[in-house]
């Protein structure tokens, strides 16, 4: 009996650690999308056109699993239910995090034209970015976000099944994918928030983002 109780206790602790770790990682990944748009990607004025092709392959490697894993035929074939389930959602989010962070770390610098907007325009672009963050989370609750990310112990809020409500009000009354719209609009606003050649020269002089010699 004592052994069984100890095993159950260890299982409970492991479950809590996994749940909290998964929640932190998934929310960090979600917010990193917005951070990457404001921060920008690597810039290298001396880079060749082959860098564009390399980065395109990275984006394909990120997008294709996203498109496949969300299809009803895939969920039916792998998980036995076209609506999906909590475990399926967790696998999908985990793979999305891996491919997304891989894209961020492996992205090659690309050349481009110089954009140096005035300070008021950059400020307006930053305001637009923050506004788009509000659009993304419009109507969302902590429980809904947990369900979106498949946090263990929560109810999946976004699926093809009848267990999830049909969202037809607010931003969903305008477009079917208001979250995607918010991210696209934020990307446009982030262009205006760019700091031009001064920041690009700083990136060239200081290539490492967080860990010197690594990344």
Model pTM? Answer: 0.74
Mean pLDDT value across residues 102-129: 82
Residue 1 pLDDT: 46
Residue 38 reports pLDDT greater than 70: yes
Percentages helix, strand, coil for the chain (3-state, rounded to 5) are 65, 0, 35
What are residue 110's DSSP bridge partners? 43
Residue 147 reports pLDDT greater than 90: no
C-alpha distances (whole Å) from 176 to each of 85, 91, 167, 170 are: 22, 24, 9, 11
**What's the number of CA atoms in the CB half-sphere (13 Å) around residue 77?**
7
Q: How confident is the model at residue 59 (pLDDT cuts 50, 70, 90)?
A: very high
- Rounded distance, CA 36 to CA 59, Å? 14
C-alpha distances (whole Å) from 139 to each of 132, 172, 178, 187 are: 13, 10, 11, 21
């Amino acid at each position: 009996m004592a052994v069984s109780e100890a095993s159950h206790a260890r299982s409970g602790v492991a479950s809590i650690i996994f749940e909290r770790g998964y929640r932190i990682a998934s929310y960090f990944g979600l917010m990193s999308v917005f951070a990457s748009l404001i921060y920008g990607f690597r810039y290298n004025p001396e880079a060749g056109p082959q860098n564009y092709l390399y980065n395109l392959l990275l984006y394909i490697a990120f997008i294709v699993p996203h498109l496949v894993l969300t299809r009803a035929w895939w969920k039916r074939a792998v998980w036995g239910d076209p609506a999906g389930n909590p475990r399926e959602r967790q696998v999908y989010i985990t793979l999305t995090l891996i491919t997304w962070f891989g894209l961020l770390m492996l992205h090659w610098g690309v050349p481009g034209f110089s954009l140096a907007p005035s300070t008021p325009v950059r400020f307006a672009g930053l305001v637009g970015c923050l506004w788009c963050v509000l659009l993304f989370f419009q109507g969302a609750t902590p429980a809904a976000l947990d369900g979106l990310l498949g946090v263990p112990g929560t109810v999946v809020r976004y699926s093809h099944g009848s267990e999830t409500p049909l969202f037809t009000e607010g931003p969903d009354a305008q477009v079917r994918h208001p979250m995607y719209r918010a991210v696209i609009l934020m990307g446009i606003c982030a262009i205006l928030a760019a700091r031009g050649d001064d920041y690009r020269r700083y990136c060239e002089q200081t290539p490492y983002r967080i860990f010197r010699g690594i990344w």
